[in-house]
Amino acid sequence: MRQPLVAGNWKLNGSRTSVVELADAVASACGNLPIETLVCPAFVHIADVCGTLDGQNLRVGAQDCSDQSSGAYTGEVSAQMLAEMGVSSVIVGHSERRQFYADSNERVAAKFEQVQSAGLTPIFCLGESAEEREAGTTREVIGSQLQAVIARCGVVAMKNAVLAYEPVWAIGTGLTASPEEAQEVHRWLRAEVAAGSAEIAAGLRILYGGSVKPANAAQLFAEADIDGGLIGGAALDAADFSAICRAAAG
Ligand code: 13P
């Protein structure tokens, strides 16, 4: 019922030449799979990547956007500008933005709203730190991340959104949440949305992110509430990323 989605977050990596080569290699390896695939280059590489993928079955996303639509906000990039470039989705609330660039729950909610207002799909990241998990506050932390967006945009906004559960302790560390640990959080997140609308919750795609590799992808994606992945390190290698996409295709 929910089409799997695998998204590559390339973060702060690549050159103009290397990202175009990577996008081409991913498009030829994954273009025929019955899933949605997406790559998210740095802002300045989006035009080149969109150009090389014209007509191919691989979408392009952005890694972030401004919480403002226009004005005196030096250095910012609006969701509307990204829409003009040809992206389909924008990641908001990534833990690296929350941790290093002070994105609060409220700012993430404002970014989420900007993305939808531009007609794009937010890929809304949520996740707890190692300390928060150890303290038993995982649900409290991701619950408040989720509720900040619902308070601003309404549960109806989840109809055109994707959630990405990314436990901070699993990002780039080689430590993956076990399929059971991830599934437990995904099921809980879906139930939280279902409290507002069962129908929207049933159609909502919830991705898992955090050290997904070809070796662990199939087990994670086999869980009932894990609808694909948001991939960091392994997305920089076309062979690894396409192996992950094949695992999502089943
Ligand atoms: P890694 O796959 O490198 O752990 O990164 C995950 C991530 O942050 C995707 O957004």
Amino acid 174: pLDDT: 87
Query: What does the pLDDT look like over 174-204, one tens digit per residue?
Result: 888 999 999 999 999 999 999 999 999 999 9
Query: What does the pLDDT look like over 106-159, one tens digit per residue?
Result: 999 999 999 999 999 999 999 999 999 999 999 999 999 999 999 999 999 999
Q: From 100, 211, 236, 244, give the residue whose CB has the most ligand 1 atoms within 8 Å, as the site to mutate.
A: 211
Amino acid 1: pLDDT: 78
Residue 127 Cβ < 6 Å to ligand 1: no
Distance CA 245, CA 250 (A): 9
| Orientation angle between helical segments 138-153 and 105-117, nearest 10 degrees | 40
Q: Ligand 1: which atom is nearest the Cα of residue 230?
A: 9
220, 211 contact by CB (below 8 A): no
State the distance from the centre of ligand 1 to the C-alpha of 129, rounded, in angstroms: 14
Amino acid at 216: N
Residue 228 Cβ < 6 Å to ligand 1: no
Sign of the torsion angle spanned by Cα atoms 215, 218, 223, 228 = positive
The structural domains of the chain, ordered by start, are 5-249 (3.20.20.70)
Query: What does the pLDDT look like over 12-32, one tens digit per residue?
Result: 999 999 999 999 999 999 999
Distance CA 154, CA 172 (A): 32
Q: Measuring CA to CA, which residue among 5, 72, 16, 74 is closest to residue 43?
A: 16
85 pLDDT tier (thresholds 50, 70, 90): very high
193, 158 contact by CB (below 8 A): yes
Residue 230 — φ and ψ, nearest 5°? Answer: -115, 115
Q: Ligand 1: which atom is nearest the Cα of residue 210?
A: 4
**DSSP state letters, 212-228:** --HHHHHHHHTSTT--E
Contacts of 235 (CB under 8 A, 6+ apart): 8, 9, 10, 39, 241
